[in-house]
Structure 1
Amino acid sequence: MQNRFTAMPLFLLLLLAFVFAAYWPGLHGGFLFDDFANLPILGDTGPIDNWPAFWRYITAGTADPIGRPLTLLSFLLDAHNWPADPLPFKRTNLILHLLNGALLTWLLRRLGHMLFLDTDRRRIDMAALLGASLWLVHPLFVSTTLYIVQREAILPATFTLLGLLSWLHGRTALLHGRTLSGLAWTTVGLGVCTLLGVLSKANGILLPVLALVIEYTLLRSVPQDPLSKGKNSGVYHRAMLALAWLPASIVAGYLLQQGEHGLVHGIPSIRPWTLGQRLLTEPRVLVDYLDLLWLPRPFTPGLFNDNIQVSTSLWSPYTTLPALLVVLGLIGCALKFRRQLPVLAAATLFYFVGQSIESSTIPLELYFEHRNYLPAMLMFWPLALWLCSVRQSRFTAAHTAAVFASIAPSIRHRAKLALAVVLLLGLALMTHSSAELWGNTHDQALLWAELNPDSPRAQANAAVAERNAGHPEHAVVRLQHLLVKDPNQVQLALNLFNAECQVGSIDQATLTASRTALRTARDTGSLLVHWFERTMEQATNPPCPQLTFQTIADLLDAAQDNRYLADVPGRQQDLYYLQGRLALMQSNANVALADFNYALDLNVRAPIALEQAALLGSMGYQRQGLAHLDHYEAVRDRTVPPNIGMPQVHAWILQHQQYWPKEMAHLRTTLSEDASNPLLGGK
């Protein structure tokens, strides 16, 4: 008995070291994509080195109504300001991934001991370790672990595992008559850990539903389940009603409400598909996920999934109906055979329940690999149990006996051991290869472009990599034919504009294509502001003759004609801000002031007023900067209230600290002093 308990931790430590080594090359990669959209808030209001700055930062999340404050808090382990070094962020992600592997081992071991009462415990322990190992070293999760911002997917998994373990401990305590202890652990598991999961990312709310999956597939399959009757059965059932069934009902109701609203009222215009098309497409996406999980490969499409063909009917594309039947068939079989094949049923239902928020009625993007991180945690446990010769049901036992009766037990054991080793080594080699790619952003960009030939994001990203490497001519060749196929893709057009300018001359056809893309793109996101700001700065010392202020003005006019951007107040504000900035760079301060005032009127916010006034002052137009602050004071009563959730908390924090009045007063003092200082040439 002692040897069993000392060997298990040793094997686990060896496993974690093995996985750490496989991931090591990827720790030296850089920031990517959504990292730049989320991490800069580390420095939005200066270094986070005092409590007021801490509270401003921790409530600044906007990814969902809750704001994901625990994820933001975890980033403080790695940096307190921005820009920052990516290595500490990636290292923390990997440590959390290893922690999740250890917790998953513990969970599978606990479930195995509760389910297989008459089986050698050493086999159950090794099956738990192997099942967790296959998940931990799977190459599909490299794109979760090494993508810094996806700590938002890793942390909810941590709290889900902790919650399930606490709930099982409470369940056992109730079984043995320890009512108060059992209720406390159950409440911590399904209540507190769910809250912590939600504070990391909204899909942490699925923890109680996942507990119900385990309850009704695994635990209720045990003959004469002790909690089905007895003195604490009523207590347990009431606790589960409040802590599991009620949250599950809320989740189901919310998804149904989102579906009804999306089908009746439509979804935001930034999505190029309807909700009905999304619901038809997601089964194909789920089948593709399962393909990546069970037929792993070292290199996957990665972060670029904007080229997914949308299903417009059950027959277009032709894989839509088969994929839907596969998904429904797997769920139906899991429900039908949950007593005969409890582990397979649990793994299947756990997976689809885990996908229910991000792959159903909420109009998120169609496809992301990181959505498999938590749902796939039980996926490989049935295989591990078989490899460790743990009898999972009478059904499998009978068929195994018939098929392998002629094979000696020792040979079967060695063959299964060899297969387990081959699987682990194969997965580790693929993970190591993928991690090496994640450690080299240039090669990563080129390979992703090759794997995603129809993805505008992948091709634009590869073009940037080629330009940064000093080969803009390669980027030109890459982008020209793609833009002909997809003229609405503004990221292709503007990257081609940059590449040709870097070569030395922009073709007239590219200028026309850039105007067309800006006029027809559905949503430009943050690209609009960032690209125009950089291009205006270049225009003061242009690398090519076509890059002039007039060219930039023509492109801005094209964006103003975009009917999709006209429906988004934030984008219209961006456009008038950019027009004002362009006027300012041409020394038209009064025109810039008028544009800035109009931009502010579209969506009255203190930060935009402060930024625009500061910009006027930095360009030597302090009086216009003061006038813009005066305009803000005149219209600030029209400030739109923050959205429900963390934005309201953040607004309260700022108001409590008097943050914006202090910043406005400081800027006003600075502008006034500079305007009255003849040495600064106030205008």
Structure 2
Amino acid sequence: MSNMAGVRFLLAVLAIALLFAVYKQGFSGALYYDDYGNLEGLSKIVDLHSAKQFVFGGFAGPLGRPIALASFALQASGWPENSASLLFVNALIHLANATLLGLLGYMCVRLSLSLPRGKAFWVAFGAALLWAGLPLLASTSLIAIQRMTGLAALFSILGLVGFTWSYRLYASSPVRGLFCQFSLLGLGTLLAMFSKESGALTPLFALAIETLVRRDVLRSPGHWVHKLRFVVLLLALAVFLIYLSPLMRDYFSVSDVRGYSAWERLQIEQVVLWDYLRALFVPMPSLFGPFHDDYPRTVDSLSSAVAAFAWLLALVLGVWLHLSGRSRWLLFAVLWFMFGHLLESTTIQLELYFEHRNYLPMYGVCLALTVAVVSVPMVYRRVAVFSFALFVLLQWAVLLSVTSMWGQPIKAANVWAAEKPASSRAVTHAVFLELSGADENVADLNYQYIRRQRYEYTLSLLDRTIEHCPGCVSVRLQAIGYACKLNRFDEAKARLRGTVSFAAGAEKPRSVVDGLFGLRELIQEGRCGDLSGNDLLALIEALSDSQLFKINHISTRIYFLAAAVAEDLGRASERDAYLLKAEASSPVALPVLQYQLKVAMATNQLEQALKAIDRRYPFVADSKGAMTKAVLDEIKAGVLEEIAQGSTGGTQERDE
């Protein structure tokens, strides 16, 4: 190894070590909303069978993401207290991705520019250094569940490295080169997809790389093999464009889940993408955090039109520069960024804004920016390099600020709640951390005084969010609960009745239902004064008319809760009617069947129990949940045994 090669290797190692040290500041951070929802099954892993159930029972995406879940299953011990070790592995994946992108960037630069190896290294190193230190990407490593994003990127990059390396094979055998390129790219794509579905975009990144290839790199550039490679990659793009087009989805129907149409989302996302770039070039710490559910759901026509025109202009300019032979890099950056956002930032009805969506898409911008620095005329080169170095230092300094903040969970939660008063997730997270560990049963007077102060502070946080987000029903329900805990019973009743008027526009139905269950417990315990199940049922009825609460798994839970409240009130017929509604929403929901069986057994209506079981059999064939044919058979056998024992008991009584 030459002296310069040794220096370059040492610099790379030092950069990786420094990156790890910066991210280490965030390892003591908290778990977040999707972490609990997707990883709660870790606590149930006790053997190989339960591990397989966790790995192949994922619901975060249509493919289940088993590879990512398998990586979590290896760390099941200690959940949920082992969050630091989860984030440690996330950071290692980020380090690996930064290293691989450095290699990929080096090969891309060699394909596009006639640079010596040393200079190509510095370009690739600079791009990887910039990308790895972007605070915009911090949430990918510091939110445990976003390992799915990092792991998918790892396999995508490996596939792209293999694809790019295989260009060298064309000189000796174009067919062998083509076979190796698509074999390695296909393998990387498949592994990425089963980590997270956005991994399917890997061939489109390969198409962006294809724009960089110099004709002199390939032997016989007009050979049919080269044309076939380009056509296949274009076909992959065509598949995605058709999948996202009005041919495959209704652009103008409003989503029951999100409350906006695909066309409206597309208009909003055109602006969102520029917001992402603004966060890259003007990295203010306040821009970065885990909560963006307060992002505006509407955008004015002028802003959308300007954003769309700006993207079109960037694309046309990139094509012109490429075709005129001036530079391929603007087109590469635009294509790489757009391709990377094609699934999550267009017409698929996901939430509007998440930082982690930029994890791979932002690399093309970083690499093109680094190439632009070395392409500056020699007279200005030093100024350009110095400015770029300052820009990288700024990114890393902000990243350190961000990771340090994330590593202080309570402080971070309060800052995020203050900076985003309209975010129900931010305030819910702050409340959860503020009260975690509090024991409500402690009778010490000093402790009760401190606890009351904490409740007062919590209620003030919730009210601040309600002021900025009147329709945040889940936050309103939390506020009702704390009003009860503070013995403000009249206030709690007024709050609950006032919440009914916002039921039609309620969002985040899962959080709302969780809040309803918690409020029912308080009412059952007599901690809400004369607030009764009747008040709760009035809100439930209002919510059940809302479109968002007609989603099967949500309506099942809300009707299940309504049945329990009706039973609390002693209304058996009303309870049974709600249970039938819950069954109709989701026939394979095991808790609903168990509730019906409990009622039937308690009232000695065993025939009704059998009918409830038999109604489920037609639905269990396609069920992936807890209710299976074997489970139904076992339950039915138990009911039949009860019936038999009852008959035997009756015969014995007659004999006596």
TM-score w.r.t. structure 2 length?
0.86
Please say if residues 26 and 437 of structure 1, whose CA atoms lie closer than 8 Å, have aligned partners that are also in contact: yes
In structure 1, the partner of 2:487 is: 504
2:289 aligned to which of 296, 302, 309: 302
In structure 2, the partner of 1:70 is: 67
- What secondary structure is seen at the aligned counterpart in 2 of 1:263? coil
In structure 2, the partner of 1:679 is: none
Question: What is the deviation of 1:611?
Answer: 5.2
Where do residues 22-37 of structure 1 align in structure 2 (5 Å cutoff)? 22-37=22-37
Where do residues 27-426 of structure 1 align in structure 2 (5 Å cutoff)? 27-43=27-43, 46-50=44-48, 52-79=49-76, 83=80, 85-117=82-114, 119-177=115-173, 179-180=175-176, 182-216=177-211, 218-219=212-213, 222-229=214-221, 233-242=223-232, 244-257=233-246, 261-264=249-252, 266-311=253-298, 313-315=300-302, 319-338=303-322, 339-387=325-373, 389=374, 391=375, 396=376, 400-401=377-378, 404=380, 413=382, 418-426=386-394
Distance (Å, rounded) in 1 between the aligned partners of 2:313 and 2:420: 30
In structure 2, the partner of 1:681 is: none
1:261 maps to amino acid: R
1:41 maps to amino acid: G
Moved more, 164-173 or 59-68: 59-68
Please say if residues 463 and 472 of structure 1, whose CA atoms lie closer than 8 Å, have aligned partners that are also in contact: no
1:450 aligned to which of 402, 413, 418: 418
2:405 aligned to which of 437, 458, 464: 437
1:570 aligns to 2:553 (yes or no): yes
Residues 1:418 and 1:307: Cα distance change in structure 2 (over 3 Å): same
Please say if residues 25 and 403 of structure 2, whose CA atoms lie closer than 8 Å, have aligned partners that are also in contact: yes
Please say if residues 515 and 555 of structure 1, whose CA atoms lie closer than 8 Å, have aligned partners that are also in contact: yes
In structure 1, the partner of 2:654 is: none
Question: What is the deviation of 1:612?
Answer: 3.3
TM-score w.r.t. structure 1 length?
0.83
2:249 maps to amino acid: H
Please say if residues 22 and 429 of structure 1, whose CA atoms lie closer than 8 Å, have aligned partners that are also in contact: no
Residues 1:67 and 1:143: Cα distance change in structure 2 (over 3 Å): same
1:630 aligns to 2:610 (yes or no): yes
Distance (Å, rounded) in 2 between the aligned partners of 1:588 and 1:85: 45
Residues 1:627 and 1:303: Cα distance change in structure 2 (over 3 Å): farther
- What secondary structure is seen at the aligned counterpart in 2 of 1:639? helix
1:428 aligns to 2:416 (yes or no): no
Q: How many residues align?
A: 629
**Residues 588-618 of structure 1, C-alpha deviations (whole Å, 9 max, x = no match):** 778655543442233210534455368x49x
Distance (Å, rounded) in 2 between the aligned partners of 1:107 and 1:661: 54
Please say if residues 61 and 67 of structure 1, whose CA atoms lie closer than 8 Å, have aligned partners that are also in contact: yes
Question: What is the deviation of 1:215?
Answer: 0.5
Distance (Å, rounded) in 2 between the aligned partners of 1:670 and 1:293: 67
In structure 1, the partner of 2:447 is: none
Where do residues 522-533 of structure 1 align in structure 2 (5 Å cutoff)? 522-533=506-517
1:234 maps to amino acid: W
Deviating 4+ runs (over 4 angstroms): 80-84, 415-421, 463-470, 583-594, 620-629, 665-676
Please say if residues 298 and 433 of structure 1, whose CA atoms lie closer than 8 Å, have aligned partners that are also in contact: yes
Question: What is the deviation of 1:82?
Answer: 5.5
2:500 aligned to which of 515, 520, 543: 515
Please say if residues 166 and 189 of structure 1, whose CA atoms lie closer than 8 Å, have aligned partners that are also in contact: yes
Please say if residues 416 and 426 of structure 2, whose CA atoms lie closer than 8 Å, have aligned partners that are also in contact: yes
2:251 maps to amino acid: L
Structure 2: 5+ residue runs without aligned partners?
A: 439-450, 648-656
1:660 aligns to 2:647 (yes or no): no
2:509 maps to amino acid: G
2:564 maps to amino acid: R
- What secondary structure is seen at the aligned counterpart in 1 of 2:301? coil
1:237 maps to amino acid: K
Distance (Å, rounded) in 2 between the aligned partners of 1:299 and 1:123: 36
Please say if residues 175 and 226 of structure 1, whose CA atoms lie closer than 8 Å, have aligned partners that are also in contact: yes
Please say if residues 467 and 499 of structure 1, whose CA atoms lie closer than 8 Å, have aligned partners that are also in contact: no
Distance (Å, rounded) in 2 between the aligned partners of 1:111 and 1:534: 55
**Residues 426-469 of structure 1, C-alpha deviations (whole Å, 9 max, x = no match):** 32221122112212222222212222233343344444455558
Moved more, 73-82 or 128-137: 73-82
Distance (Å, rounded) in 1 between the aligned partners of 2:531 and 2:512: 17
Please say if residues 55 and 66 of structure 2, whose CA atoms lie closer than 8 Å, have aligned partners that are also in contact: yes
Distance (Å, rounded) in 1 between the aligned partners of 2:636 and 2:409: 44
Percent identity, aligned pairs only?
25
In structure 2, the partner of 1:639 is: 619
Distance (Å, rounded) in 2 between the aligned partners of 1:541 and 1:674: 37
Distance (Å, rounded) in 2 between the aligned partners of 1:249 and 1:557: 46
Please say if residues 291 and 426 of structure 2, whose CA atoms lie closer than 8 Å, have aligned partners that are also in contact: yes
Question: What is the deviation of 1:212?
Answer: 0.9
1:224 maps to amino acid: D
Distance (Å, rounded) in 2 between the aligned partners of 1:139 and 1:8: 25
Please say if residues 311 and 320 of structure 1, whose CA atoms lie closer than 8 Å, have aligned partners that are also in contact: no
1:538 aligns to 2:522 (yes or no): yes
Distance (Å, rounded) in 2 between the aligned partners of 1:7 and 1:624: 82
- What secondary structure is seen at the aligned counterpart in 2 of 1:604? coil
In structure 1, the partner of 2:590 is: 607
Please say if residues 144 and 153 of structure 1, whose CA atoms lie closer than 8 Å, have aligned partners that are also in contact: yes
Residues 1:420 and 1:313: Cα distance change in structure 2 (over 3 Å): closer
- What secondary structure is seen at the aligned counterpart in 1 of 2:210? helix
- What secondary structure is seen at the aligned counterpart in 2 of 1:224? helix
Residues 1:207 and 1:672: Cα distance change in structure 2 (over 3 Å): farther
Q: State the Cα RMSD in Å.
A: 3.4
2:197 maps to amino acid: A
